[in-house]
Amino acid sequence: MSRVCDAAMLHPWEITASRYIVNDRWLRLRADTCRRQDGLTIDPFYVLEKRDWVHVIPVLPDGRIVLVRQYRHGAGIMCLEFPGGVTEPDEDPLVGAQRELVEECGATGGTWSHVTTFYPNPARQSNQFHCYLARNVEETQAANLDPNEEIEVLRLTPTEIDAAIANGEFSQGNHIAAYLLARSQLVN
């Protein structure tokens, strides 16, 4: 039975046991046995431990925004999104975002600013999403994709991105949230 309580009654859960179900380079799936303050035991409670994600809203000098389209197997869809990926261990998120932009789009330079950092799903995941706005980037070199990546690079105006969000073509929730936070800083 659920209950409503005031903030003074809220407490973190105590982890009484923990084991890894999956532990590889992409993610760690942990099964915890947890005990609430009131004595209720929750077993198992699954937590995905993932590296942080970094993404870039890269704006070219003409105001168009560089995006990528790629297949996303989890949903089984072709997805239009901002360039990005996972951080390397102990990598600063800004450095990771700059690295991902070069790798996926061959774009460099520009003036960078932080848009947002948030937890995509704090109920089940440990990682954060970091997004940066990079203005006046230049496409200076060929992309250097990971062996498992197949990416189409597109250049759209903010108005075209708005339409892609409205028609469901741009459907990554984290990317949409970051874009809407940065939208007032973009030029049509």
pTM of the model: 0.89
Residue 38, C-beta contacts closer than 8 angstroms, at least 6 positions apart: none
Q: What is the pLDDT of residue 1?
A: 55
What is the spatial distance between Cα 137 and Cα 50, in angstroms, rounded to a whole number? 29
Domain ranges of the chain: 7-49, 53-185
What is the spatial distance between Cα 74 and Cα 93, in angstroms, rounded to a whole number? 24
Q: What confidence tens digit (pLDDT) does each residue in 45-71 have? A: 999 999 999 999 999 999 999 999 999
- Tell me the percentage of the chain whose pLDDT exceeds 90: 84
Q: What is the pLDDT of residue 2?
A: 63
First to last CA, the chain: 51
pLDDT band at 81 (very low <50, low <70, confident <90, very high): very high
Q: What is the mean pLDDT of the chain?
A: 92
148 has a pLDDT exceeding 80 = no
Q: Alpha carbon of 157 to those of 63, 94, 152, 183: distances in Å?
A: 7, 24, 16, 11
Residue 18, C-beta contacts closer than 8 angstroms, at least 6 positions apart: 30, 31, 32, 33
Q: What confidence tens digit (pLDDT) does each residue in 1-13 have? A: 566 767 667 899 9
CATH fold of 53-185 reads Nucleoside Triphosphate Pyrophosphohydrolase (3.90.79)
